[in-house]
C-alpha cells in the first residue's frame, strides 16, 4: 500500500544485555517484516547461547547486587518512573508496535501502549501496599512465638512473549516480576521484537540498575528460546504462546524443577439460544471474534447456535464479517469503538 505509513528503510534491532545494546556474538541475523505491507523493515541480531548466558549472568548479578539491595520503596520509585517514561515516549512505542504488528494505530494508541505503561504503575502500587503478615502462637512453656512472613524475590525470571500484544503482554509479566524484586531476561517473539528492545532505552533513562532488564532475540528450538529455558540459573519461566511450545518449555523446566507460568490461549465458545436478540448477538460476536483480527486469547473461537435460528444467524454473521475491510494502519478500525 503506497499510502501506508510504515518505514520502507531498514533499521537494526539489537539485544539488550546488562544495560548495553549488543549485536549477536555469532553475527547471525534475521529479517523483520511489516505485516501491513510485507516490506522488510529491519534486521534483528539473533542471540547466541553465549549471549543468552551473558544476559542471565547480568540478571543474576543485578539480583545479588544493587537491585537486590534496594528497599521496596526504591524499587517502586524506579518502576513508576518506567511507566511515566513510556507515556512520555508513547509516539515512539506506537510507531514500533504498529510497524511490527500491522494493527491500526487507533487500537495500539488506545490499548497497547497505555496498558504497557499502566502495567508497571499498577504493580508498583500493588507491591507498595502489600502488608506483611504476622501472628502469634502459644508455646509449650506458656509463652508466645511471633510468626511473620518474609517475601523474597524468586530470582531470575525468563519472560517469553507472544506477537499479538507484544508490549502489553510483555509488561504484564515484567511489571510484577520487577515489583517483587526479581530480574528478567525477555525473549520477545521473533516477529515483534521492537518494543521489547525499545524498553531498554527507557530502563537506562530512568536509572534502572544494569542487568535488571535484559532482552535476547531469536527463535525457539536451537535458538534463544531454548537457550534461555535450558539455562540452570533461570529460576522461573513465564510464557504466553501455543501449546506445543509450552510442552517443550515444560520439559526444560523440569530440569531443576523450576516454577512455570503458562498462558496457552483459549478455545472460548459462545452459545446462542433461539430466544436471543440476534442483532445484539452479532454485534457482540463481531467484536469478540474479529477484534485484533481474531488474535486474542480471550476471543471467541467457536459458536454453538440453537437450530431454529441457525440459518438466520449465519446469514447475519456473514454480512457483518464482510463489512470489515483491510486497510492502512492509520485508518480508524471498524471494531475500535
Name the residues annotated as catalytic: 263
Biggest CA-to-CA distance, the chain: 84
Residue entry with cell 510485507? 38
Q: What are phi and psi of 115, to 5 degrees?
A: -70, -35
d(CA 39, CA 231): 35
Query: Are 74 and 300 a contacting pair, CB within 8 Å?
Result: no
- State the cell numbers at 148: 511473620
How many CA atoms lie less than 13 Å away from 289 in the CB half-sphere?
16
d(CA 294, CA 308): 27
Query: Are 228 and 187 a contacting pair, CB within 8 Å?
Result: yes
Query: Are 40 and 98 a contacting pair, CB within 8 Å?
Result: no
At residue 261, the 3 state secondary structure works out as strand
Q: What are phi and psi of 85, to 5 degrees?
A: -70, -35
Residue 164: CB partners within 8 Å, gap ≥ 6? 101, 292, 295, 296, 297
Across the strands, what pairs with 13? 44
CB environment 261-283: b (16+ within 10 A), e (fewer): ebeebeeeeeebeeeeebeebbe
Residue entry with cell 534461555? 228
- State the cell numbers at 169: 503482554
What are the C-alpha distances in Å from 326 to residues 97, 174, 289, 318? 18, 33, 16, 16
Amino acid at each position: 500500500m503506497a499510502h501506508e505509513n510504515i518505514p520502507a528503510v531498514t533499521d537494526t534491532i539489537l539485544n539488550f544485555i546488562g544495560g548495553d545494546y549488543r549485536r549477536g556474538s555469532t553475527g547471525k541475523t534475521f529479517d523483520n517484516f511489516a505485516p501491513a505491507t510485507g516490506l522488510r523493515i529491519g534486521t534483528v541480531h539473533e542471540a547466541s547461547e553465549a549471549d543468552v548466558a551473558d544476559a542471565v549472568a547480568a540478571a543474576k548479578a543485578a539480583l545479588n547486587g544493587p537491585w537486590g539491595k534496594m528497599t521496596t520503596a526504591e524499587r517502586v520509585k524506579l518502576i513508576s518512573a518506567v511507566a511515566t517514561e513510556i507515556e512520555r515516549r508513547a509516539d515512539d512505542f506506537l510507531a514500533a508496535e504498529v510497524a511490527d504488528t500491522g494493527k491500526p494505530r487507533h487500537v495500539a494508541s488506545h490499548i497497547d501502549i497505555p496498558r504497557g505503561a499502566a502495567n508497571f504503575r499498577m504493580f508498583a502500587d500493588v507491591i507498595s501496599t502489600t502488608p506483611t503478615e504476622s501472628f502469634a502462637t502459644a508455646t509449650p512453656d506458656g509463652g508466645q512465638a511471633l510468626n511473620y512472613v518474609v517475601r523474597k524475590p524468586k530470582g531470575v525470571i525468563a519472560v517469553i512473549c507472544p506477537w499479538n500484544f507484544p508490549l502489553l503482554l510483555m509488561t504484564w509479566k515484567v511489571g510484577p516480576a520487577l515489583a517483587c524484586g526479581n530480574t528478567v531476561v525477555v525473549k520477545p517473539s521473533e516477529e515483534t521484537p521492537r518494543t521489547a528492545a525499545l524498553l531498554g532505552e527507557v530502563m537506562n533513562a530512568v536509572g534502572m540498575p544494569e542487568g535488571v532488564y535484559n532482552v535476547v532475540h531469536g527463535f525457539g528450538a536451537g535458538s534463544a528460546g531454548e537457550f534461555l529455558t535450558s539455562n540452570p540459573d533461570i529460576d522461573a519461566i513465564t510464557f504466553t504462546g501455543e501449546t506445543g511450545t509450552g510442552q517443550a518449555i515444560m520439559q526444560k523446566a523440569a530440569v531443576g524443577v523450576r516454577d512455570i507460568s503458562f498462558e496457552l490461549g483459549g478455545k472460548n465458545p459462545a452459545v446462542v439460544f433461539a430466544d436471543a436478540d440476534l442483532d445484539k448477538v452479532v454485534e457482540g460476536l463481531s467484536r469478540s471474534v474479529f477484534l485484533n483480527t481474531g488474535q486474542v486469547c480471550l476471543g471467541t473461537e467457536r459458536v454453538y447456535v440453537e437450530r431454529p435460528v441457525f440459518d438466520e444467524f449465519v446469514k447475519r454473521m456473514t454480512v457483518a464479517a464482510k463489512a470489515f475491510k483491510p486497510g492502512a494502519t492509520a485508518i480508524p478500525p471498524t471494531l475500535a469503538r
